[in-house]
Amino acid sequence: MIELYNLHKQFGKQVVLDNVNFEVREGETVALLGPSGTGKSVLLKHIIGLIKPDSGKVVVDGKDVSTLKRKELSELRSRIGYVFQNGALFDSMNVFENVRLGITDEAKYGDIDYCRERIAECIRLVNLVPETIEKFPAQLSGGMRKRVGIARAIAGAPKYLLYDEPTSGLDPVNADIIDSLVQRLDDELGVTSVMVTHDVRGAFRVADRLALLSEGVIVMQGTPQEFLASSNSKVREFLERDFDNPSFAA
């Protein structure tokens, strides 16, 4: 379970997260919605300890992330897969080595036969052809890079998956492919997921629960149905862009 209590973060004078309270229960998929620049990615990075809060705390599986020692934090991170916005693949390594780094168990990482098998499985799970493993990130399209990023995140069989804008910058067809992939991975792997996105349509397709972050504050949390029924002006304003979109209605 992931719990955020009174999380506050500011950079200089700019308050990015203002006493945010938020929780993700075991097995559910939560989409964190909000316009660009409202601190969604910053919130996600707090969960994995890449950013430390100014005040408040992030608790994962009962442990306060910001107080963990180096080894404990490393152990926690091995249970969390993080999918970065642009893949964040290592340029100097091919897809095989990139995905291999996601195998966080050192004994398994050193077993090349296990790695070959696991990487092939992850590549298949993200709908890429086996030949992709020989390629370097520069030889991949944006959508393929995102899928390799997902393959790397699931390689260590994590308990939690954190997606940072998995469909941003993609055309609608590729965005749909990624959304379906996220949904399928949640079902097949049984992971708990948090997806940061400003794509309302994708969030409604994938998430069990939604939260809207605006100006550093969680405006609303609830099921997709509760969001649709909400009269909150910020929620309406955010959703209506996509209500007018015929593809959303479909």
Q: Decide: is 22 part of the binding site for other proteins (CB under 8 A).
A: no
Q: Are 200 and 241 in contact (CB under 8 A)?
A: yes
Residue span binding other proteins (CB under 8 A) among the ranges 23-31, 42-50, 127-135, 226-234: 42-50
Q: 25 in the Ramachandran plot: left (φ > 0), alpha (ψ -120 to 50) or beta?
A: beta
Asked if residue 16 lies in contact with residue 7, where contact means CB atoms within 8 angstroms, the answer is no
3-class DSSP assignment, residue 241? helix
Among the listed residues 2, 3, 43, 45, the single contact to other proteins using CB under 8 A: 45
Closest separation in Å from C-beta 115 to other proteins? 14
Nearest distance, CB of residue 245 and other proteins, angstroms: 30
179 Cβ neighbours under 8 A, 6+ residues apart: 166, 167, 202, 205, 206
- Report in angstroms the alpha-carbon separations of 58 from 3, 102, 209, 245, 246: 6, 23, 19, 36, 39
134: DSSP letter:
G
Minimum CB separation from other proteins for residue 199, in Å?
20
Q: How far is the CB of 189 from other proteins (least distance, A)?
A: 17
216: left (phi over 0), alpha (psi -120 to 50) or beta: left
As measured in angstroms, the least distance from the Cβ of 196 to other proteins is: 13
**Counting contacts by CB under 8 A, is residue 156 touching other proteins?**
yes
How many Å apart are CA 13 and CA 193, to the nearest integer? 31
User: Applying CB under 8 A, which of residues 9, 40, 46, 77 lies at the interface with other proteins?
Assistant: 77
The footprint of other proteins on residues 56-75 (CB under 8 A) is 70, 73-75
Q: Is 166 in the site for other proteins (CB under 8 A)?
A: no
Closest CA to 30 of 142, 186, 159, 156: 186
Site residues (CB under 8 A) for other proteins, limited to 180-239:
none
Distances (CA, A) of 193 to 7, 19, 108, 173, 196: 20, 22, 24, 22, 10
Q: Is residue 82 close enough to count as binding other proteins by CB under 8 A? A: yes
**Residue number with CB closer to other proteins (13 or 70):** 70
By CB under 8 A, name the one of 30, 48, 206, 211 that touches other proteins. 48
> Which CB atom, from 7 or from 83, has the smaller least distance to other proteins?
83
Residue 88 near other proteins by CB under 8 A? yes
Residues 99, 133 contacting (CB under 8 angstroms): yes
> Using CB under 8 A, which of 29, 38, 94, 104 touches other proteins?
104
Contact set with other proteins (CB under 8 A)? 45, 48, 50, 70, 73-75, 77-78, 80, 82, 84-86, 88-91, 101-102, 104, 152, 156
